[in-house]
Amino acid sequence: MSTSPLLLALLGDARLPSGGHTQSAGLEPALRAGTTPAEVPAYLRARLRTVTRVEAGTAVVARAVAVDGGDLGEVEAAWAARTPSPALRANGRHLGRGYLRVLQALWPGPVDARARTWSRPVVLGLLAHHAGMGPADVARLVGYDDAQTVTAALLKLEPQDPLTITAWVHALLPDIDEMADRVAPLHLPEQISAHGAPLIERWAETHDTTTERLFRA
């Protein structure tokens, strides 16, 4: 199954009204904890191997379960078990509601009443099913969106040359493709990887109680 490149561009566009503009993908608390702008490429790769891979795998499995008419609640539970931080779980479900609005606007129709309690990757999997999107494409979408979220936030938090930032994302594209290829064959919740990122989780918990912040997470 092949997805239109234009559809992927639409869903990966920062102007999509899904709430993504409120996010830094953990960069704001990472910078507060001492991460430097020069270390952002390494931060991007660390996320891609851990939390982003979990989310991409969750979206792929959610898509497969939706195609088979299965229970997406089981996928949500698997994602939650692999996301130890309560702050990250709450934020993931906040973003899920934003993507649910996108889904209902672009592909109107009935959805499970529990969908408002599902996380971003689960709703993205459901969206991928409705859009006729293949598993590798939805995984690439998750990886690309994560990288763009981090780098867009950096431009607001610690302004850099935008072309340098673009080069960082471009250099990461082969890694995103490799990650997508690894998770694309997944079909069952128990197959989702459990690669943890303790520092990102700890920073998220600290950021959740910070009053002076630019981004929600």
Per-residue pLDDT at 2: 55
Inside any domain, residue 216: no
Inside any domain, residue 213: no
Average pLDDT over residues 48-54: 96
Torsion of the alpha carbons at 164, 56, 134 and 130, rounded to the nearest 10 = -110
Q: Which among 184, 188, 192 has a CA at the least distance from the CA of 134? A: 184
* Cα(8)–Cα(38) distance, integer angstroms: 29
Average pLDDT over residues 175-201: 96
Residue range of the domain that includes 170: 5-208
**pLDDT band (50, 70, 90) for residue 4:** confident
Looking at the structure of the chain, the number of domains it has is: 1
Inside any domain, residue 214: no
Q: Which among 141, 67, 64, 68 has a CA at the least distance from the CA of 99? A: 141
Inside any domain, residue 75: yes
pTM of structure:
0.95
Inside any domain, residue 215: no
Per-residue pLDDT at 19: 83
Inside any domain, residue 127: yes
Tokens, residue 193: 């990887």
DSSP string, 155-178: HHHS---HHHHHHHHHHHHHHHHH
Say how many residues make up the chain: 217
Inside any domain, residue 217: no
Report yes or no: 71 and 122 within 8 Å, Cβ to Cβ.
Answer: no
Q: Give 188's DSSP letter.
A: S
Torsion of the alpha carbons at 93, 7, 67 and 70, rounded to the nearest 10 = 10
Per-residue pLDDT at 196: 85
Average pLDDT over residues 30-42: 96
* Cα(210)–Cα(200) distance, integer angstroms: 15
Report yes or no: 194 and 82 within 8 Å, Cβ to Cβ.
Answer: yes
Inside any domain, residue 201: yes
Per-residue pLDDT at 16: 87
Report yes or no: 147 and 172 within 8 Å, Cβ to Cβ.
Answer: yes
- Report the CATH number at residue 11: 1.10.4190.10
Measure Cα distances from 123 to 90, 106, 134, 147 in Å. Answer: 14, 13, 15, 19
pLDDT tens readout for residues 78-112: 999 999 999 999 999 999 999 999 999 999 988 89
Q: Average pLDDT, whole number, for the chain?
A: 94
DSSP string, 59-99: HHHHHHHHHTT--HHHHHHHHHHT---HHHHHHHHHHHHHH
